Amino acid sequence: MSEQNENTPYYQGEAKFSPIPLTVSSPQIAAENKGKIKASAVETMQKQANQQIDMLKKQAETIMEQVRQIEARLQVSYGIYEAEMKFTPKIGEEYHLYEKDNKKILSFISPKEWGKIMPYDKFLASVLLLADRTWEVRVKHENNLKRL
């Protein structure tokens, strides 16, 4: 039996599919460095994951900036809705916020249109009514930034 085992070839299929070289002219089959393969895969995986994480962080920062802008617009809008209005503002129109005797007044007349004598103590800002009924500040008077 031992002679039969010695004469029986290790591989009996086609030579091109052999896991070991069968002849001297067979292509060299080298053992793979599995540690190197795993390290390369892990490095690539980490690089890809970090790129995706960085992209998501940038998107989150953009979203948070948009949230801050909306919150600021809401605060301004609350201040404007506390002002005296003697008309119904229309969406897409620009109005002007003034202050007289510590009361806010919304007007459709700009500071330039008053001429030399403005009937209010201070010009606070020019504002635009947006479709969602919030107000966007177009022009702020520098000295009155905190009054809005």
- Does residue 16 fall inside a structural domain? no
Give the structural domain span for 146. Answer: 30-148
pLDDT at position 7 over 70:
no
- Does residue 88 fall inside a structural domain? yes
- Does residue 56 fall inside a structural domain? yes
> How many structural domains are present in the chain?
1
What mean pLDDT comes out for the span 82-106? 93
pLDDT band at 20 (very low <50, low <70, confident <90, very high): confident
- Does residue 138 fall inside a structural domain? yes
What pLDDT was estimated at residue 1?
A: 47
pLDDT band at 8 (very low <50, low <70, confident <90, very high): low
Give the CA-trace dihedral at 115, 135, 100, 118, to 10 degrees: 0
- Does residue 62 fall inside a structural domain? yes
- Does residue 77 fall inside a structural domain? yes
- Does residue 5 fall inside a structural domain? no
What pLDDT was estimated at residue 14?
A: 78
What pLDDT was estimated at residue 97?
A: 94
CB 125 within 8 A of CB 97: yes
Cβ neighbours, 10 Å, residue 135: 24
Q: Which residue has the higher pLDDT, 148 or 47?
A: 47
Q: What is the mean pLDDT of the chain?
A: 85
Q: Which of 33-37, 56-60, 84-88, 103-107 has the lowest mean pLDDT?
A: 33-37
Q: What is the pTM of this model?
A: 0.58
Distance CA 140, CA 80 (A): 13
- Does residue 17 fall inside a structural domain? no
